[in-house]
Amino acid sequence: MDSTENQEPSQEELFEHHKFIGAKGQEPLRVDKFLMNFIENATRNKIQQAAKQGHIWVNDAIVKQNYKVKAGDEVKVMFEHPPYEFLLTPEDIPLDIVYEDDTLLVVNKPPGMVVHPGHGNYSGTLINALVYHFDNLPSNSSERPGLVHRIDKDTSGLLVIAKTEAAMTHLAKQFFEKSSEREYLALVWGNVEDDEGTVEGHIGRNPKNRLQMIVFPEGDQGKEAVTHYKVIERLGYVTLVSCKLETGRTHQIRVHMKYIGHTLFNDERYGGDKILKGTTFTKYKQFVENAFKILPRQALHAKTLGFEHPVTGEFMRFDSELPEDMVNCIEKWRSYAKHNDQ
């Protein structure tokens, strides 16, 4: 008697969700551990489940969870439903719209809001809100409606959204040619010695931890990245800095500031959620932990955004206030610095 019950799904019936290539020099590593390093918010259990269902492919062959990935291997994770980017559900989420006309809008994104759907964040994103509030937003090459650029989930601040294909092309070109203006405010660990400076260093994926980016000082890997910083206020063991971007690489400010020894305050991914500077007194430890509670994310805000309007040609500049969590955290450090002359 024929039975189809235990048949593995054919590749034609599945949709590719993630594809990774084993990097040069990749030590043999179990595919479940390999994917844990790559896919944000993925649990080992979920990955092992995908393996059991025959949804992990290496070089176009289904593999078990103990397969060891080698340099040059093409690893795919596939599922029976399309990727969530293609299942964009409109959601009635309020937007803080700073400016809007027929061709674009500028929004102030709150901390904690993911910009677009992805693994582990399939709803509640800025894109879900945009497709609810606006019809026929143009798609970019990644099928993300209206999105010209993005900021991390736990970074707050300004984003420009295109409403037409022409605006999308025009704005994307400005970001590519570095003619747009982007200024961020960051609270970083340590006393930044120079009043201002420039960090230059190619940024690419950390081969040891694929969820992190790192600087490749020789410039032999990654992409060119340039950040100009300026000290705004020195607060003892932390410093408030302004960072202007010439390029827009993933985690650029977070990576560049860590590279020069000033990790962002409470940046969990890059180690800023540890006490990196200060005294050994118990009271200080308690103070920092309280500051982490006030600001439960990396201390980064996209404050200023400037670009040329795609239709009028006018250069427009928008500014946003620091969100309450950052204001309160800075105020706490200001008070500490005042009462603890160092």
The residues assigned a catalytic role are: 152
Rounded CA-CA distance 117/150 in Å is 12
Nearest 10 degrees: Cα torsion 90, 96, 101, 103: -50
**Helix, strand, or coil here: 156?**
strand
Q: At 287, which amino acid appears?
A: F
Asked if 333 contacts 187 with a C-beta cutoff of 8 angstroms, the reply is yes
Distances from the Cα of 268 to the Cα of 175, 254, 285, angstroms: 28, 11, 17
Calculate the CA 212 to chain-centre distance: 10
Residue 300 has φ and ψ, to the nearest 5°, of: -145, 130
Angular region, 325: left φ>0, alpha ψ -120 to 50, beta rest: alpha
SS (H, E, C) 175-235: HHCCCCEEEEEEEEECCCCCCEEEEECEEEEECCEEEEEEEECCCCCCECCEEEEEEEEEE
Asked if 115 contacts 127 with a C-beta cutoff of 8 angstroms, the reply is yes
Rounded CA-CA distance 216/236 in Å is 30
H/E stretch holding 336: helix 324-339
